Amino acid sequence: MTTATLGGMPAITYNFAYLDEQTKRMIRRAILKAIAVPGYQVPFAAREMPMPYGWGTGGVQVTAAVLGPDDVLKVIDQGADDTTNAVAIRGFFEKTAGVATTTATTEATVIQTRHRIPETPLRDDQILVYQVPIPEPLRFLEPRETETRQMHALEEYGLMHVKLYEDIARHGHIATTYAYPVEVAGRYVMDPSPIPKFDNPKMDDCPALQLFGAGREKRIYAIPPHTRVRSLDFEDHPFEVQRFAQPCALCAARGVYLDEVILDDRGGRMFVCSDTDYCESRQAAGHRGEMAPPDAALPQPVSPRGEDATRVSDDASSDLSASARGRPAGAGAGAGTGAGTGAGGTEAGHD
């Protein structure tokens, strides 16, 4: 229990992690079922949360149900720890659960994410919780929920390939760049939430438990650790991830997902890691991209808190601020468009 006193007013108390225990039990049952049937969308009685739909109400409920007092929570939004959604949800659990939070992927035990998988490989003692706007991969092909459930039950997934066919017919290649459908454990076709397809291979055989929560749609689904996750494709148009021509402008990383950041109105731009923690760790380790600030301007140690996984206090936001990281202010979530993928990057899938 955490309490806050408002100048003589009665203290506001929350149950651990906001939700009452019965609700958490209900959600845990749904999670267990989801783990037992990988990729299957389990309906659950999603609650109203103190945030609007589309801001991660599903992910927050899943996180609340799996969080324990000893957990260390990390929240990312489009890969960044310092955007509104991530800061707000981290603050929410600090206040209602009093758990330790972190921005370092390696220190976290529970990571709630909106639209990215961290670049640092996950471990078997970590849980990745996705915020899902639309859990039904067949939604835009077949609007009737009664029909799509039937299709899942009978494994009728020809329609999913019709969508990919349409992509190739219109664009010459599979132009779906985010929310790219996957087949889980050789059975259910699943929407991996609007992560860029760059992240799809990370879901395959991942040691961490992956949970997906859709609050508005009231569905939970899961990928148990070390499960086969295959991105759908055609024999003559195999699945490919986005590739970037240049490395990160700040940390010189290659083979990571980059955000395009517009610098001015004369066409100036830079490509930087969308995973801010990964980028900062690399810079702290001495990696320098071509637009990296001089050494003196960098935040000194890698962990802004100086010790492992302490709570983020209010003033901690200052060392997360954009200027300290050499990133132009307001460029947090980035344009999300990979080089060579044209329009239709991650941002187009805003929930």
Given the rule CB under 8 A, which residues bind other proteins? 141, 150, 153-156, 158-159, 161-162, 165-166, 168-170, 233-237
Catalytic residue, candidates 39, 56, 58, 345: 39
Catalytic residue, candidates 273, 334, 345, 349: 273
When computed from its CA atoms, the radius of gyration of the chain, rounded to whole angstroms, is 20
Rounded to the nearest 5 percent, the helix, strand and coil shares of the chain are: 25, 15, 55
C-beta closer to other proteins: residue 14 or 165: 165
**CA 229 → CA 22, 118, 183, 203, 255, distances in Å?**
33, 17, 6, 6, 20
Catalytic residue, candidates 79, 206, 213, 251: 251
CB of 144 to other proteins, least distance (A): 13
Catalytic residue, candidates 213, 279, 326, 345: 279
C-beta closer to other proteins: residue 28 or 163: 163
Q: 3-class SS at 317?
A: helix
C-beta closer to other proteins: residue 84 or 150: 150
- CB atoms inside a 10 Å sphere around CB 343: 9
Find, among 63, 58, 65, 56, the residue nearest to 24 by Cα. Answer: 65
**What's at 214, amino acid-wise?**
A
For the question of residue 248 being annotated catalytic, the response is yes
- CB atoms inside a 10 Å sphere around CB 104: 21
**Continuous H helices in 188-268:** 200-203
For the question of residue 206 being annotated catalytic, the response is no
Q: Identify whether the C-beta of residue 69 lies closer than 8 Å to the C-beta of residue 96.
A: no
For the question of residue 39 being annotated catalytic, the response is yes
Which residue is it, tokens 């050494």? Answer: 295
C-beta closer to other proteins: residue 107 or 156: 156
CB of 195 to other proteins, least distance (A): 24
CB of 177 to other proteins, least distance (A): 18
CB of 77 to other proteins, least distance (A): 32
C-beta closer to other proteins: residue 8 or 238: 238
CB of 167 to other proteins, least distance (A): 10
Q: Which residues are known catalytic residues?
A: 39, 248, 251, 273, 279
